[in-house]
Structure 1
Amino acid sequence: MGYYIQAEQGVHLFVEDVGSGVPVLFIHGWPLNHLMWEYQVTQLPKYGYRCIQVDLRGYGKSDRPWSGYGYDRMADDIRAVVDALGLTNARLVGFSMGGAIAIRYMSRHNGHGMSRLILAAAAAPSFTMQPDYPYGMSREAVDSLIAGLYANRPQTLDDFGNLFFASNITESFRSWFNALGLSSDARATIAGAEALRDEDLRPDLPRIQTPTYIFHGVMDRVCLFPLALEMHKGIRGSTLVPFQHSGHGLFYDELELFNRSLLTALKE
């Protein structure tokens, strides 16, 4: 079932709601949309989970405003969804940029409505290198990515997609996956890349009190594995689950292991 929820600034967010039982709120990564979770939401409802997948503003079927693509605003959008649906004892699952937004939500809104946090290849605590943080992409590399989005978005996203998976995916799957990114608003895609470049979540990590699982591919070429180690150090009591044969797209690289690990994290 799909429907819209109104957030701040009158922005309408599209939500796909599948199954019944314990609520699991999924946040997609950049530059994708809720459809990236296809291979999870076809399984979890069998085990008593309600899968709530939101399209972030500017992505998928949600409204496409010119502004509002910082983590604070997008975390507030997630709060609007949680409040509109009256979610309690829910699980929050965020992938890549969605993981970063999930961290900001837990910090900014004190984990409102959530009893568990699962970070999958999260673009955190900082996607880019800082003077005192030698991990992640260089700012120059992200600037080059942004320049590519202005000049030739399809080619830039295709090149970025080539970094995603460590396994040999089929051409038909790659075409489907690339189409998810191309369906997003051009402005949102650029602004999302700027947020990835500029946001720093290190101060947010100690504020997370909810049990947290960190899923991360050891072979990740987008958010290198040291980012997972930094999140694990920064989030007290967190559980780090390495995926030895996964790249950034661990949700498909090791699909069966990912789904089993997700079920374990949701239940514990």
Structure 2
Amino acid sequence: MNTRRTILTAGAGAVAALGAGAGTGYAAASGRRVRTEPVYDEPLGIAMEGCPSAFPVRFLRLVNQGETVDMAYLDIAPAGPVVSGRTVLLLHGKNFDGGAWEPTACALVAAGHRVVVPDQIGFGRSSKPALEYGFELLARNTAALLDHLGVARADVIGHSMGGMLGVRFALKHPGRTGRLVLANPVGLEDYRELVPALSTERLFADELANTDLNGIRAFYRSYVVRWRRAYERNVELRYRVTLGGEYPRWAMASALTYQMAYHQPVVADLPKLRLPVLLVIGQADRAAVGKSYATPENRAKLGNFPVLGRRAAAAIPGARLAELAEVGHLPQLEAPERFEREVLAFLRD
């Protein structure tokens, strides 16, 4: 069950260079030249086959609901002058993969932390089965990964949907969670109150039709205040997967994980948290699950992160709130210095 394989090694030793050059174009590492411009005309496999990685990608074989699946992950050793002895677990959002954490991972590694970055089943380089997805399933898979790596306890940082998973992981595995950082987490409101429920068939059809490059770019642009070239990585990966023959399987996994995020909000779970929590909230964020399906009136009510962040901080006992002005849904990429400063200070306390 614990079979492992390693692929796409660009060299884990060039942390400083990677931190400076992360983003579209994939930074050079270990003296190797890696392409520096995005590609839009080459298909990408639904497990991101053919996409280089800044660090070695490994896989853990699991069984989910009777189906054998492979969970991709990065396990990056500390590189700073002082090793903290702590492990930090980075949880990606729904429209991202573990590789989107690269700048944050580099900063944490340089600060002496071991960093583990999984691609959850259904995302990134991991298998894309047609499962009944749920945060408890993903939390169980994540705990199995930590078991496999011999990590008894980790600090957890979750972005967007990864914040929802971080909350559920902390509640299901309180003894294994040291500190919890929530970076613009979705699920701080119950989307079922303002967004109509949709069938998986409708969501699948919509994903299949979402193949326009400009439309995909506009979607990611809506996340940020100012567009930067580094964000093009997400556009490239999302578009190129539509060119491959297995895109329908990717689209079905996306539809099923949408249902998970829609039907399993974490807002009611926040008062149950009993560990140090830091909320990092970009104040310009208006992201919400299913927002495009809401009526114009309800759409205006969704994703008000300045309000949602303060409510969440008030609901979580002893929570710390860091509000980042003029920052949208991606604080770790839009304001990396501020984000890393807040996170590193929180982990030191």
Using the size of structure 1 for normalisation, the TM-score is: 0.87
Distance 1:253 1:2 in 2: 25
Deviates more, 1:179-188 or 1:253-262: 179-188
SS class of match (1:231): helix
Amino acid at match of 2:175: H
Q: Distance in 2 between matches of 1:114 and 1:242?
A: 24
Residue in 1 aligned with 2:81? Answer: none
Aligned ranges 1:150-229 → 2 under 5 Å: 150-154=208-212, 157-170=216-229, 173-182=230-239, 183=241, 185-222=250-287, 223-225=303-305, 226-229=307-310
Q: Does 1:123 align with 2:186?
A: yes
Superposition deviation, residue 2 in structure 1: 2.7
CA RMSD of aligned residues (A): 2.4
Shifted more, 65-74 versus 80-89: the winner is 80-89
Instruction: Measure, in 1, the Cα distance between the counterparts of 2:87 and 2:168.
Output: 20
Deviation at 1:141, TM superposition (A): 9.9
Once residues 102 and 209 of structure 1 are traced to their aligned partners in structure 2, the CA distance between those partners, rounded to angstroms, is 13
> 5 Å matches for 1:44-63?
44-63=108-127
Pick which of 142-151 and 42-51 moved more. 142-151
Whole-angstrom CA distance in 2 between matches of 1:154 and 1:25: 33
Gapped regions of structure 1 (runs ≥ 5): 131-137
**Alignment deviations for residues 22-55 of structure 1 (CA, whole Å, 9 cap, x no partner):** 1000010012110111111222211111111000
**Counterpart secondary structure, 2:74:** strand
- How many residue pairs get matched? 258
Residue in structure 1 matching 2:167, options 103, 107, 121? 103
Greater C-alpha radius of gyration: 2
Does structure 2 conserve the Cα–Cα contact (< 8 Å) formed by 1:110 and 1:208?
Answer: no
Do the aligned residues in 1 keep the contact of 2:204 with 2:251 (CA within 8 Å)? no
Whole-angstrom CA distance in 2 between matches of 1:264 and 1:201: 26
Alignment of 1:94 onto 2:152: no
Q: C-alpha separation between the residues in 2 aligned to 1:180 and 1:39? A: 17
Q: Note if contact 1:5-1:13 (Cα within 8 Å) is conserved in structure 2.
A: yes
Identity of aligned pairs, percent? 24
Question: Alpha-carbon deviation of 1:199?
Answer: 1.4
CA distance 1:159–1:70, change in 2 (3 Å):
farther
Q: 2:207 aligns with which of 124, 142, 149?
A: 149
**Partner residue of 2:195 out of 114, 135, 139:** 139
The separation in 1 between residues aligned to 2:62 and 2:86, in whole angstroms, is 23
Q: Equivalent residue for 1:12? A: 70
- Alignment-mate amino acid for residue 120 of structure 1: A
Q: Tell me, what secondary structure is at the counterpart of 1:164?
A: coil
User: Aligned partners of 2:116, 2:308: CA distance in 1, in Å?
Assistant: 27
Closer/same/farther in 2, CA of residues 7 and 204 from structure 1, 3 Å limit:
farther
Listed as ranges, the matches of 1:233-244 within 5 Å are 233-244=314-325
Choose 81-90 or 214-223, whichever is displaced more: 81-90
Distance of 2:147 and 2:327 partners within structure 1: 35
In 2, Cα distance between equivalents of 1:265 and 1:145: 39
Higher relative contact order (CA 8 A, sep 6+): 1
In 2, Cα distance between equivalents of 1:229 and 1:145? 32
How far did 1:248 drift? Answer: 0.3
Structure 2 counterpart of 1:207, which letter?
A: K
Deviation at 1:189, TM superposition (A): 1.6
CA distance in 1 between counterparts of 2:304 and 2:142 reads 26
Given the superposition, is the C-alpha separation of residues 13 and 214 from structure 1 closer, same or farther in structure 2, using an over 3 Å criterion? same
Task: Quote the offset at 1:174 in angstroms.
Answer: 3.4
Unmatched 5+ stretches in structure 2 = 1-55, 79-84, 242-246, 288-302
